[in-house]
Structure 1
Amino acid sequence: MSGHHLILGGAKSGKTSHAEQLALKCVDKPVYLATGQAWDDEMHARIDAHKNDRVDKFITVEEPLNVISALEHCRSVSKIVLLDCLTLWITNLMMAEMSVSESVDALIHWLQTNAEMQVILVSNEVGQGIVPDNKMAREFRDHAGVSHQKLATICTDVTFVTAGIAKKLKG
């Protein structure tokens, strides 16, 4: 694998499993940069389950907001980083009232200037459903869609996963 890789898919589509397999083919113990935050007990249980699943395979770094700082830290740890997930990161940015556009642009700049590290970016494709019924949900959908477009432009590879089947869109 060379260059950065964007992997998109719906919820429970198999995108994270696909990303993990790619990362593990490249190095023995890649970094797993997790952006999820436990806002409730159910999410806390999900995060714990994910941690337990990858404990022996990945070096886990958790950072809900400042992914660039976390990526900088990861440079000395591994040449492969799996960043999961961009849509949770976007949610965290919105909840913290931070600029999603500026944050995504900063991430893109970082990715373009740090080609020695390969980053696998996982994100939920949220724009193929119904139009949300509230402003915040529509803004989230729009942020995700625009972010995916920008990232797809600079990534060497882009893959869409449905029902566990990965379809290469670019690369």
Structure 2
Amino acid sequence: MHFVFGGAFNGKRKWIKKQYDNQITAWYSAYENPIKVPTLVKGDQYIVIEGIERYIKELIDSGKTVEEVCCYFNEQLQAWRAEDLLANIIVIGTEIGKGIVPLNQNDRSWRDACGYVYQMLVAEAETVDRIWYGISNRIKEDIKE
């Protein structure tokens, strides 16, 4: 899995399109489609899931606790691992906190859930890049031998 994160409107989508050129066969965006983590099909070259923070926000807004959201994403990661899909997935997340604590409890829960889910994604990902103003900073790269 490749996890790409950065600030809003900092060029994450453009950077991924440039990096993966014509290898992306499916692009799921929480900004354009109903909020739902897609069912993935093995065999696609690369599958992009964009706006993971929006998926998390929808779960928090529906009344799920931070713990329930984390369990949901942990189960999703396990399913992708079991189906041998992780190497084909690119997840894009927007940094939503930068250390600022929201006054609203629901927004704090969203920020906390994003932090925990992003930690899970980073732990599972082979590659992690932070995009800031269109410039990438490789944070993690596990090279398979």
- Is the pair's TM-score, using the shorter chain for normalization, greater than 0.5? yes
Shift of 1:129: 4.1
Equivalent of residue 100 in structure 1, options 69, 72, 82? 69
How far apart, in 1, do the equivalents of 2:140 and 2:80 lie?
17
Aligned equivalents of 2:81, 2:21: Cα separation in 1: 23
Of 71, 77, 80, which residue of structure 1 is paired with 2:46? 80
Q: For 2:13 and 2:99, how far apart are their aligned partners in 1?
A: 20
- Mapped partners of 1:30, 1:111: distance in 2: 17
- How many pairs align? 137
Deviation at 1:63, TM superposition (A): 4.5
The residue that corresponds to 1:18 in the other structure is 15
Q: Look up the match of 2:81.
A: 112
In terms of fraction of residues, the more helix-rich structure is 1
Q: Contact 2:42–2:83 at 8 Å: present in 1 too?
A: no
Task: Verify the 8 A CA contact 1:13 1:161 in the aligned structure 2.
Answer: yes
Q: Distance in 2 between matches of 1:108 and 1:150?
A: 9
Code of the aligned partner of 1:71: T
Q: Does 1:34 align with 2:3?
A: no
Question: Residue 57 of structure 2 aligns with which residue?
Answer: 91
Q: Give 1:17 deviation, angstroms.
A: 1.4
Distance 2:62 2:18 in 1: 32
CA distance in 1, matches of 2:80, 2:139: 20
1:136 is aligned to 2:106: yes
Amino acid at match of 1:94: I
Contact 1:91 1:140 in 2 (8 A): yes
Unaligned runs of 5+ in 2: none
Q: Structure 2 CA distance, aligned partners of 1:83 and 1:143?
A: 17
Cα 1:97/1:23, change in 2 over 3 Å: farther
User: Structure 1 runs of 4+ off > 6 angstroms?
Assistant: none
How far is the alpha carbon of 1:92 from its aligned partner?
1.5
Of residues 109, 121, 131, the one that matches 2:91 is 121
List alignment gaps of at least 5 residues for structure 1: 37-46, 48-61
Q: Is 1:9–1:123's contact at 8 Å kept on the other side of the alignment?
A: yes
Contact between 2:10 and 2:132, CA under 8 Å: does it hold in 1? yes
TM-score using structure 1 length: 0.72
For normalisation by structure 2, the TM-score amounts to 0.84
Cα distance between partner residues in 1 of 2:96 and 2:114: 7
